[in-house]
């Protein structure tokens, strides 16, 4: 089968490798679509440290079951499926609590680090444990289904703080996760969802997918506008989808006293925390990691149209075109959102 192999940092090769065999509790899936995640781009140049070559990346995928292991009971050949990016053990204390994203033995598809190596879905076929798979309705095309992993990440971040009627939220960062988080917050019941970014074209997209207000500003200008829009109080919740010193500081400034800041972005390994603001204003800071059981609801919201992903897909391309798109994403070419690769592209 064809695979897109990161053979060394900043370099891909199309290689031919044997089709993997499904284990006893596994599905062999024909990959119909796999999205390029921002973490893959950071893995491409080695900056994340979690895509050590050689590795086949790719974890945002959907496809068709073509073989099942002897112990598989819930899936059949021909099923349309997507799957979680997290391979959890199902046995540890966190899995027992339903916090599969915190599994003690957690692995991520398409990741190679110092602890493990697991091949991803930039390939014609992939094997996955049945416990991480979800059946897709016929109404969701494979290319859009490849976005479900990112949708579930956004939904998990929103669900960490239950919403009450009339609450307001600010999303910082109108990239892929930010735009999905915006939609997830609206679906969860936030009456007012504001989004901010320094890129005006991304804010145009935010308007298309339902932002209440958009703010083309950062730093002190963003703070001043949020205070104006909230009568000097700040928003109830900030969902920070960037992960830099300046954006986290802005999140803390823009949330009301007693409010919550949920940290989704993690570009910068360490940030400086304005501790006195957090303590004196009794702000709750929380991290959000991957997803934990949100896939079924994510599928429902996409199927119903409450979360739209089609406007966020910039291009659909073959595996062979993958290196070119990685180069363009790595160069931060304007107006690129989600690129989806289709290994069986015709």
Domain with CATH 3.90.180.10 in the chain: 2-147+309-341
User: Tell me, what's the pLDDT at 269?
Assistant: 82
Give me the mean pLDDT over the 98-104 stretch.
Answer: 96
Give me the mean pLDDT over the 189-218 stretch.
Answer: 95
Give me the mean pLDDT over the 201-213 stretch.
Answer: 95
Res. 101 pLDDT band, cuts 50 70 90: very high
Give me the mean pLDDT over the 90-111 stretch.
Answer: 96
* Angle at 197 (CA atoms; ends 226, 284), nearest 5 degrees: 55
Strand partners, 134: 82
pLDDT tens string 6-58: 999 999 999 999 999 999 999 999 999 999 998 999 999 998 888 999 999 99
From 307, 293, 319, select the one nearest 88 (Cα to Cα). 293
- The answer for residues whose C-beta is within 8 angstroms of residue 314's C-beta and 6 or more apart is 335, 336, 337, 338, 339
pLDDT exceeds 90 at position 149: yes
Q: Which CATH code, of 3.30.390.50, 3.90.209.20, 3.90.550.10, 3.90.180.10, is assigned to 2-147+309-341?
A: 3.90.180.10
Domain with CATH 3.40.50.720 in the chain: 152-287
Give me the mean pLDDT over the 191-197 stretch.
Answer: 97
pLDDT tens string 266-319: 878 889 999 999 999 999 999 999 999 999 999 999 999 999 999 999 999 999
User: Tell me, what's the pLDDT at 266?
Assistant: 85
Res. 346 pLDDT band, cuts 50 70 90: low
Residue pair 104/94 in contact by the 8 Å Cβ criterion: yes
Average pLDDT, the chain: 95
The whole-model pTM stands at 0.94
Query: What letter does residue 306 receive in the DSSP assignment?
Result: S
pLDDT tens string 220-247: 999 999 999 999 999 999 999 999 999 9
The architecture of the domain spanning 152-287 is 3-Layer(aba) Sandwich (3.40)
Whose tokens are 């973490």? That residue is: 39
Helix (H) or strand (E) holding 208: helix 200-208
With the CA atoms of 146, 153, 226 and 282 taken in that order, what torsion angle do they form, in degrees rounded to the nearest 10? 180
């Amino acid at each position: 089968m064809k695979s897109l192999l990161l053979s060394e940092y900043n370099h891909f090769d199309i290689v031919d490798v044997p089709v993997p065999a499904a284990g006893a509790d596994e599905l062999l899936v024909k990959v119909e679509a796999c999205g390029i995640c921002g973490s893959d781009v950071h893995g491409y140049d080695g900056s994340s440290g979690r895509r050590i070559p050689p590795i086949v990346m790719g974890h945002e995928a959907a496809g068709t079951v073509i073989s099942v292991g002897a112990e598989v009971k819930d899936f059949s050949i021909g099923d349309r499926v997507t799957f979680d990016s997290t391979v959890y053990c199902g046995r540890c204390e966190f899995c027992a609590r339903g916090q599969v994203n915190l599994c003690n033995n957690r692995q991520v598809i398409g990741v190679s680090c110092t602890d493990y190596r697991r091949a991803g879905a930039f390939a014609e076929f992939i094997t996955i444990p049945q416990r991480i798979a979800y059946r897709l309705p016929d109404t969701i095309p494979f290319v859009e289904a490849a976005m479900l992993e990112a949708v579930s990440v956004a939904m998990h971040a929103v669900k960490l703080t239950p919403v009450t009627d009339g609450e307001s939220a600010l999303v910082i960062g109108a990239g892929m996760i930010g735009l999905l988080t915006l939609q997830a917050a609206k679906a969860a019941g936030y009456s007012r969802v504001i989004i901010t970014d320094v890129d005006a074209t991304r804010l145009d997209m935010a308007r298309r997918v339902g932002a209440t207000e958009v703010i083309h500003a950062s730093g002190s200008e963003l703070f001043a506008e949020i205070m104006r829009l909230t009568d000097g109080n700040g928003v109830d919740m900030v969902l920070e989808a960037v992960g830099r010193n300046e954006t986290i500081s802005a999140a803390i400034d823009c949330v009301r006293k007693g409010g919550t800041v949920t940290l989704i972005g993690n570009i910068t390994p360490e940030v400086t925390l304005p501790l006195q603001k957090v303590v004196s204003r009794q702000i709750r800071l929380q991290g959000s990691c991957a997803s934990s059981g949100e896939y079924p609801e994510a599928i429902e919201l996409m199927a119903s149209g409450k979360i739209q992903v089609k406007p966020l897909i910039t291009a659909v391309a073959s595996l062979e075109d993958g290196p070119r798109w990685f180069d363009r994403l790595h160069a931060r070419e304007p107006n690129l959102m989600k690129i989806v690769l289709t290994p069986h592209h015709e």
